[in-house]
Chains A and B, each alone.
Chain A
Amino acid sequence: MKSGQEQFPSAARLKSILPLWPLLPAAFYLITFLFVVLSYLLYLSFSTASGAFPTLATAGNVFAMNEFRQAFVSTLLFVIVGTPLELVAGLALAMLIYKPFFLRSIVRTLFIIPLAVPGLVTATLLFIIFDSNGGFMNHILMGKYWFFPHVIRHAVDWRGAQWSALSVAMIGKIWRDVPISMLILLGGINAIDPELFDAAKTMGAGLRQRFRYVILPLIIPAISSVLLLRSIEMWKEFIFPYILAGRYHLLGTLIEFLYMEWGGKYEHEAAFVALVLVGCIVVSVAVFMFLVDIVRRMVSDVR
């Protein structure tokens, strides 16, 4: 009968909504961390300490800063050079261990260890290794060890120049994170039917040709994952430049610098830099996806 339905309309509706309850934590997360945080970031970015809102004054301050322009260019280079480097390093490691061999699982575990070391520790180690006097790297290059020739006479102040300080930071970053790229690529390579390699072999393909014509086209999805995920990480990088290139900012360290260093006077500017960083990531993801598509077409001559 009709009346029964009219009597408990809310109960019926509740029943249809009830199955959605497991989504609540996710909804809570989305609202809190995306909506609230991002909108507060937007508010901070377009307001000033004196309470003006909305205003482009903060943005103007940031764009006028020398530090910001330098940090932006440095971060861009960090991403453009660092991401492909990590991809190549990860691919090289993955190619070393994609075939089963004696003790492979042990070698693979060894390759993953850098990931288990906290970034702060790795960065500090590199800090010591690349110290301007008494650092291990200077000693090696000055020929203090039998295994390396004498190439420099005076110790180099690695952390004293922008390009070398940021390069050392990049090396640290890549060294620590390359296992992630390796594992993603390894997954891609191991998903390929090994008989494809056998087939290529019987058709005359050597190692390089098998890599170029079989492995590479088939791991494009894994390569795009690496490029996208790792480029985001490169944009956001903080700990390695913070420890190793203190004076030469990336966007990530500039936020901290603006927020902490000048007595909290630049809170709004720090927020705006963070907003720029988010924007950079969005744009760069789009650019990398576009590039991956071009590469995909280049290596997989499908038709």
Chain B
Amino acid sequence: MSELIIKNIQKFYGDHKVIDKLDLQINSGEFVTLLGPSGCGKTTLLRMIAGLETIDGGELYIGGRKANNIPAQKRRIAMVFQSYALFPHMSVKNNIVFGLRIKGMELHDMFTRLDWVLPLLGLEGLENRLPREISGGQRQRVALARALVLDPDVLLLDEPLSNLDTALREMAMEELKRVHRQVGKTIIYVTHNQAEAMTMSERIAVMNAGHLEQYDTPGALYRHPRTMFSAEFIGSPSANFIPGTIEIKNGELVLNSEIGLLEIDETRKDYLRNFSGRSVVAGIRPQDIILSSTRTHRRASDSHVTLGVELIENHGDRSFVLGRFENGLPVRFMAANDSDYRTDARVEVLIDGRCIHLFDPETRQNILEK
């Protein structure tokens, strides 16, 4: 069993608290991503799991065994470093079998493993090259191969694709998913790129300034962001945030926002009555703001708002539009390219009340998702 439990874990650099009482549970064979902006402590947490940094508080269990004080050499954890950390003086082959040699594995078994991993990662023919004689993508695969041959309980990957160009990164992402399916290892993957996290992971741990914001499946993170940070970090482009108040008008519950009255869907109205009079921040994804002209029927939960188009970024099938509401608040949304809008025009959009996420402006928590 190779499940991983992190309980109340802490890390300090001097007085600087880098990881703050973080809890995380990762099932055996699961692909989990640590996602967060640069400097939020992802690498530090990964290094603590690997045994390369001391744990200053809390507990770490690997496969049911408390691992706080097990040295890195004995943790049965393999890590792929952001820089790949390939040994520059060893051939690809010797890099890959280094760990097996250290363990004193028989030559025969070593070659069996090598014969398994080289085709798995498409490295045949490169065995005798030095790291400086292969491309970035190949180095990344050597680093992965070197980790996989160790047959670790847990595989840690620290932004392994960040040094690759876009095309190569997409290939590597698919490959990594395929490898995970084939070997079924527990994988903890670190990235600051939400698209990478959304594509590959079974669950995503969104980190911010050393603590956990939300731990959920990609779908749940997208549909039910627990905090404003999650809503902003997940999804591209980022969500729009519009301040407002929950009010009862003529017996109907509405959101009185800075851009006008916004409808809320029926299903949430009853619950929200408890919140009437409270200030909130409405989080609305660019994908949930729709040009009125493209929608023929109107739902009860839709609100009409007008805005001025300022900038259009063409993405082929759709465009990313930057605009401004009448009160001057900026807004981002996506629009199909065959619809009728242009720069400096005024357009009417629909905002679907079912897609409005409501956050407490103080705690920045979603007031509906507990």
Interface 9-residue window, one of A46-54, A85-93, A203-211, A281-289? A203-211
Provide the residues of chain A in CB contact with B128, threshold 8 Å: 303
- Are A200 and B130 neighbours in the complex by a CB distance under 8 Å? no
**Residues of chain B at interface, number, CB under 8 A:** 31
Q: Which residue of A lies closest to B52 (CB)?
A: A198
- Are B102 and A202 neighbours in the complex by a CB distance under 8 Å? no
- Are B52 and A202 neighbours in the complex by a CB distance under 8 Å? yes
Determine how close the nearest CB of chain B comes to the CB of A45; give it in whole angstroms.
45
- Are A205 and B52 neighbours in the complex by a CB distance under 8 Å? no
- Are B81 and A203 neighbours in the complex by a CB distance under 8 Å? no
Provide the residues of chain B in CB contact with A193, threshold 8 Å: 83, 85
Provide the residues of chain B in CB contact with A202, threshold 8 Å: 50-52, 72-73, 75, 77-79
Provide the residues of chain B in CB contact with A213, threshold 8 Å: 87, 98, 102
- Are A201 and B85 neighbours in the complex by a CB distance under 8 Å? no
**Residues of chain A at interface, number, CB under 8 A:** 21
Determine how close the nearest CB of chain A comes to the CB of B339; give it in whole angstroms.
50
Per-position contact with A for B119-130: 1 when CB-CB < 8 Å, else 0?
Answer: 000000000101
Known A-B contacts A202-B78, A203-B78; the reply to A300 vs B73 at CB < 8 A is no
Q: Which residue of B lies closest to A214 (CB)?
A: B87
Provide the residues of chain B in CB contact with A209, threshold 8 Å: 102
Which chain B residues in 16-63 approach chain A with CB under 8 Å?
47, 50-52
Provide the residues of chain A in CB contact with B146, threshold 8 Å: 203
Determine how close the nearest CB of chain A comes to the CB of B80; give it in whole angstroms.
9
Known A-B contacts A199-B79, A202-B78, A203-B78; the reply to A217 vs B73 at CB < 8 A is no
- Are B87 and A196 neighbours in the complex by a CB distance under 8 Å? yes
A291 CA to B128 CA in the complex, in Å?
Answer: 25
Is B94 an interface residue when CB atoms closer than 8 A count as contact? yes
Q: Which residues of B contact A (CB under 8 A)?
A: 47, 50-52, 71-75, 77-79, 81, 83, 85-91, 93-94, 98-99, 102-103, 128, 130, 146, 150
The 8 A-B residue pairs with the shortest CB-CB distance in the complex, in nearest-first order: A203-B99, A199-B85, A195-B85, A201-B72, A204-B102, A217-B89, A202-B79, A300-B89
Known interface pairs A201-B71, A204-B103, A301-B90; 11 further A-B residue pairs with C-beta atoms within 8 A, sorted by A's residue number: A199-B81, A199-B87, A200-B87, A200-B98, A201-B51, A201-B72, A201-B73, A203-B99, A205-B102, A209-B102, A300-B90
